[in-house]
Structure 1
Amino acid sequence: MKRFEGQKVIVTGAASGIGRAAAHRFAREGASVCLIDKNWPEPSNSDALCLTCDVADQRSVEAAVSYAAEVLGGVDVLVNNAGYPVTDLDTDMSDAKWRGHFEADVHGLHYVTEAARSWLEAEGGAVVNTTSVAGLGGDRAMEAYDAAKGAAVQLTRALAIDFAPKGVRVNAVCPTLTHTAMSRAAENQPDKLEAFLKAIPLRRVGEPEEVAAAILFLASGDASFITGVALAVDGGITAGNGQPHLV
């Protein structure tokens, strides 16, 4: 039997990248899936329910989640994958960009989770948040991104404790550089890509499907006693302590 046969799943930020990979994999494993995104680059040919919603807009979130739950018949799994794009470093940080990180990565996560709370509690469901290794340790010139992702990791832990009495598990995945539209800026600059590859012990960039596999594991019954975890999917970056290679 497929792991998610008959389950109802909502994935935000699902038009591309990690969210799209996770949504497709949930569907292959038997789930009914609702894909939510702010921008759909092209008409979707998916049989899944696709909704347009900005997760930073609380009213829009409440309407979208309510509609999705009505159509799907509830919510067993919520994947908070939507996030603010990283287009450059924070050397010239505008107020709008600073707020943008928090509105999508923190407020949006909160809005979507709260909107789905009653259905998740009714099903004893699972929540998986896509954050980043930047939420586990600091980076140079990425103050807003790191602060927002760190807040998302802490919010994951707090939600895990609050939801536990209702049988709902809440975890996070923390990827490093992964082949998505948002990674192209770094991947298209050989010096930046080489710096990343030197920092990643497995010496390669991650694939969206690899992060999706971790998301599905945390959402599945195989992780039934795991909650409040921020799982690094990073090729080993966080295994090191940051000291230079001395050999």
Structure 2
Amino acid sequence: MANELDFTGKQVLVVGGSSGIGNGIAQAFRAKGAQVAVCGTRGSAADYSREEGSQLGGLAYSRLDVSNGEAIEQFKPSFDRLDVLVLAQGAVIYRRGEFEMPGFRKVIEVNLISLMACATRFHSMLRESNGSLIIISSTAAYHSTMGNPAYNASKTGAVGLTRTLAEAWAEDGIRVNGIAPGLVDTKMTKVTTANPQRLEGALERIPLRRLGTPADMAGAALFLASPLSSYIIGQTLVVDGGLIL
């Protein structure tokens, strides 16, 4: 029996793949034989460090500011075929910055509007390959996050976008699904994970009693992009150790 998780010969693009969850997903696809390209906000791969959760060796890196719609439209990929597109970009503003309209708009632009912009930018390439689109949202889509209205609204919107694009693009041979991570130890969650008291409280709410890892999210991504999930569309897989049970 063929290895259903062998991506040899496949081309994968992870937007937001320079660090954190996106980088973990990119490395997992590379380990399974895929050619993997990632996009990040900095000028070059050398501008990232392992301390930030970045491992870019063996990945083709390009700068892309997803808050700029024109930059997405004009983006020139280094490949002429695309089998899997993972949209893992994300932004959050703490200290009630999302209650100010500039902050609210900035987070919505990155976390929601850029998803649609990137998806439509690569729609034709995914159609040609009968490819897979995976949208990374958050368990925040399923409960209130009192201090972050834009983050919450954008992640809730991402789940709805996943459903709708899945229905709209199924006839094009594109399978669209999503992943809703729980509390994953990345630079975006340091406000919790680096605070012992907050971390202890968070772990008490997770039945598995541990934080998620980028590798945990990568396992779900490999599944959703593989033939193992060939009859699944429009679903957002919650990967949270039981946090929102």
Tell me the equivalent position of 1:90: 96
Query: 1:234 Cα deviation (Å)?
Result: 0.4
Q: SS of the counterpart of 1:232?
A: strand
2:12 aligned with 1:17, yes or no? no
- CA offsets 1:57-79 (integer angstroms, 9 cap, x no match): 12211232xx22xx322111000
2:79 aligned with 1:72, yes or no? yes
Q: SS of the counterpart of 2:244?
A: helix
Unaligned 5+ residue runs, structure 2? 50-54
1:1-247 aligned at under 5 Å gives the runs 1=3, 3-39=6-42, 41-42=47-48, 46-64=57-75, 67-68=76-77, 71-84=78-91, 86-90=92-96, 93-239=99-245
- CA offsets 1:23-56 (integer angstroms, 9 cap, x no match): 1111111111111011253388623221000112
CA distance in 1, matches of 2:225, 2:117: 20
CA distance in 1, matches of 2:70, 2:19: 24
Unaligned 5+ residue runs, structure 1? 240-247
| % same residue | 33
CA distance in 2, matches of 1:22, 1:206: 13
Q: SS of the counterpart of 1:238?
A: coil
Poorly superposed stretches of 4+, deviation over 6 Å: none
Contact 1:8–1:73 (CA<8 Å) still a contact in 2? no
Q: SS of the counterpart of 1:156?
A: helix
CA distance in 2, matches of 1:209, 1:230: 17
TM-score, with normalisation over the residues of structure 1? 0.89
- CA offsets 1:140-180 (integer angstroms, 9 cap, x no match): 22222111100111011100000111111111100111011
CA distance in 1, matches of 2:147, 2:127: 40
- CA offsets 1:176-233 (integer angstroms, 9 cap, x no match): 1101111111111122112211111111111111111111111111111111011111
